[in-house]
Amino acid sequence: MRNTYQAPVLELDEPDVTSGDLELEERHSLRRVAGLSTELTDITEVEYRQLRLERVVLVGVWTEGSVSDADNSLTELAALAETAGSQVLEGLIQRRSRPDTATFIGRGKVDELRDAVVATGADTVICDGELSPSQLRNLEQQVKVKVVDRTALILDIFAQHAKSKEGKAQVELAQLQYLLPRLRGWGESLSRQGGGAGGGSGGGGVGTRGPGETKLETDRRRINQRIAKLRREIKAMRTVRQTKRSRRATSGTPAVAIAGYTNAGKSSLLNRLTQAGVLVEDALFATLDPTTRRTAAEDGRVYTLSDTVGFVRHLPHQIVEAFRSTLEEVSFADLVVHVVDGAHPDPEGQVSAVREVLAEVNADSIPELLVINKVDAADEETLLRLKRTWPDAVFVSARSGQGIADLHQAIAAKLPRPPVDMRLLLPYDRGDLVARIHRTGQVLQTRHLEEGTELRVLVDERLASDLESFRN
């Protein structure tokens, strides 16, 4: 069911191994071991019920749209499951006007799902939607294997791929926020009572006898405490991120953010544009930690290019909230380079999903440059349709380099231009000012005279005030 397109692996001019290559090798060496139980044994150590995704059956509810929309959604769920390290055995789709409130798929479909689990030997069922605690409990009781919803699956992938301290804290916060309303007794150990012994047994000691609190209540209290601590840590990290942004803003360097659907080729494009050497993998949510690199347009203007976390349909709100400080990198950009997978069965749906998340972080009003990637893997009919739909889009291949020169020009054309037009005569010993103009402004004309360099430039107001004494 997966898209068979192999994600581009950038071939750099230099044969040196990049940090992304090393990270990819490390990730592939840490695969899950089949048969090992990862059930929750101590909430203070693990903080959440870990997933054991090995042999899975997928199930979705088709409530609206066409048959192809339902198939695409289940295909994406299969890609998510394989990214998490599982083997997909079978997929089922139930046509309903709305999900069943008790079992998500309805009583009749539960029996069919149970038969599929028994026939395939699956140990996990993954539902294409977010289940309520009661739906999760009812399904597990009836199919007799672990049930995981789409949100928990995405959170598990994020937990595997997070590398930085901020990324790990954001993922853990999202996981705990998801877990808290779903806490229940995973066996007797989480439902027993602690504290005073009460009755005839006297293990509690003086002053501690009484009903005590259940293990479930203890877990809930500890999780709330951990959530509060994580929020404080992320708030402090957000301050650091804001300080870096303010420094870039003070320098007058334009900021360009690369956004797009997961696995659309954003990291490959960043590598191609800046030689960043970041990790590239044919997997969903391969990179979570944003990478920022400086590069220059053909006219010499310097700007920053930032890769961001990928988006997906129905991105869990826990992820959006926990990663808000990271996603805000897009909202503070001067230009959003929106990367679309041209070889995907539904690129229009990807664009809609990305724009929906951009609106959530108040980035929908920022100028957008649409980039259709993977044109070397897309068929001609699809490309012609996309060119009619988005005539201003740039069509590229990050793997082969096709269209990259056009992309450089398109980004330069959309970069904000400094507002102040000045004619200057700079002495030859003021090369520092010439360098500042090239770095943050734009040189329109240059002429070398006996007394110095005559320039016509576009610069921001701050630099214009520093250059006022040299105005010609």
Does any domain span residue 283?
yes
332 shares its domain with 454: no
The pLDDT of residue 38: 35
DSSP 434-466: HHHHHHHSEEEEEEE-SSSEEEEEEE-HHHHHH
Q: Residues 192-220: what's their mean pLDDT?
A: 54
Neighbouring residues of 271: CB distance < 8 A, sequence distance ≥ 6: 10, 12, 20, 277, 278, 280, 398
The pLDDT of residue 57: 92
463 shares its domain with 388: no
373 shares its domain with 453: no
Domain boundary among 109, 139, 158: 158
- Per-residue pLDDT for 74 more than 60? yes
326 shares its domain with 406: yes
- Which pLDDT band, with edges at 50, 70 and 90, does 45 fall under? very low
359 shares its domain with 337: yes
384 shares its domain with 406: yes
Q: Could you tell me the CATH number of the domain that includes residue 386?
A: 3.40.50.300
- Per-residue pLDDT for 404 more than 60? yes
Distance (Å, rounded) from C-alpha 128 to C-alpha 253? 43
The pLDDT of residue 284: 64
What's the whole-number average pLDDT of the chain?
A: 78
275 shares its domain with 396: yes
Does any domain span residue 435?
yes
149 shares its domain with 275: no
Three-state SS at 329: helix
pTM passes above 0.85: no
Range of the domain at 298: 252-414
Does any domain span residue 4?
no
Number of domains in the chain: 3
Q: Residues 218-246: what's their mean pLDDT?
A: 83
Does any domain span residue 115?
yes
Most confident range, picked from 189-198, 205-214, 325-334, 381-390: 381-390
73 shares its domain with 96: yes
426 shares its domain with 392: no
404 shares its domain with 453: no
Distance (Å, rounded) from C-alpha 68 to C-alpha 63? 13
402 with 376: CB under 8 angstroms? yes
